[in-house]
Amino acid sequence: MKNSIKYFGIALMMAMGFQTQAQDVDIEKQSIWDRDLPNFRAPDQRGINDFEPTKDTYTNFDGVQVRLGGASTIQLQGLSQENASGAPALHDLGTNFNLATANLVLDVLLADGMRMHLTTYLSSLHHTEAYVKGGYIQIDGLDWISKDLSGVMDNWRVKIGHMENNYGDAHFRRSDNAQAIYNPFVGNYLMDSFTTEVGAEVYYFNGPWLAMAGFTNSTINQSSLATDRDPSYLAKIGFDKQINEDFRFRLTGSVFHSGFRPNSSRGSTQYLYSGDRAGTRYYNVMQGNVEGVRYDTDFRAGRLNPNFGEELTAFMINPFIKVGGLEFFGIYENASGSDDETWNHYSGELIYRFGATEDFYLGTRYNTANNDDVSVNRFNVGGGWFMTKNVLAKIEYINQQYNDYPTGTYRDDANFNGFNIEAVISF
194-208 residue pLDDT tens = 999 999 999 999 999
Kindly indicate the confidence band of residue 407, based on its pLDDT and cuts at 50, 70 and 90: very high
C-beta of residue 44 within 8 angstroms of C-beta of residue 390: yes
Give the separation between CA 45 and CA 424, rounded to whole angstroms: 11
Kindly indicate the confidence band of residue 2, based on its pLDDT and cuts at 50, 70 and 90: very low
More reliable by pLDDT, 346 or 264:
346
For residue 229, give the DSSP letter: P
What is the arithmetic mean of pLDDT over 143-148? Answer: 91
Give the separation between CA 218 and CA 138, rounded to whole angstroms: 20
Identity of residue 138: Q
176-192 residue pLDDT tens = 999 999 999 999 999 99
* pLDDT for the residue 216: 95
* pLDDT for the residue 9: 44
Kindly indicate the confidence band of residue 62, based on its pLDDT and cuts at 50, 70 and 90: confident
Kindly indicate the confidence band of residue 230, based on its pLDDT and cuts at 50, 70 and 90: confident
Backbone angles phi, psi at 136, to 5 degrees: -155, 165
Give the separation between CA 156 and CA 158, rounded to whole angstroms: 7
What is the arithmetic mean of pLDDT over 359-374? Answer: 97
* pLDDT for the residue 3: 47
* pLDDT for the residue 31: 42
Q: Out of 56-65, 90-99, 346-355, 414-423, which region has the weakest mean confidence (pLDDT)?
A: 56-65
C-beta of residue 77 within 8 angstroms of C-beta of residue 282: yes
Collapsed DSSP state (helix, strand, coil) of residue 3:
helix
Give the burial class of 51: count Cβ atoms within 10 A of its Cβ; 0-12 exposed, 13-18 middle, 19 or more buried. buried
What is the arithmetic mean of pLDDT over 372-391? Answer: 97
98-127 residue pLDDT tens = 999 999 999 999 999 999 999 999 999 988
pLDDT at 25 exceeding the cut of 80 = no
Kindly indicate the confidence band of residue 97, based on its pLDDT and cuts at 50, 70 and 90: very high
Give the separation between CA 205 and CA 108, rounded to whole angstroms: 23
* pLDDT for the residue 208: 97
What is the arithmetic mean of pLDDT over 120-141? Answer: 92
Closest CA relative to residue 117, chosen from 127, 128, 107? 107
Q: In the chain, where are the structural domains located? A: 2-58+76-98+141-426
- Per the prediction, the chain carries an average pLDDT of 88
What is the arithmetic mean of pLDDT over 404-425? Answer: 95
* pLDDT for the residue 229: 73
C-beta of residue 234 within 8 angstroms of C-beta of residue 165: yes
Give the separation between CA 352 and CA 360, rounded to whole angstroms: 8
Identity of residue 354: F
The CATH class given to the 2-58+76-98+141-426 domain equals mainly beta
Kindly indicate the confidence band of residue 259, based on its pLDDT and cuts at 50, 70 and 90: confident
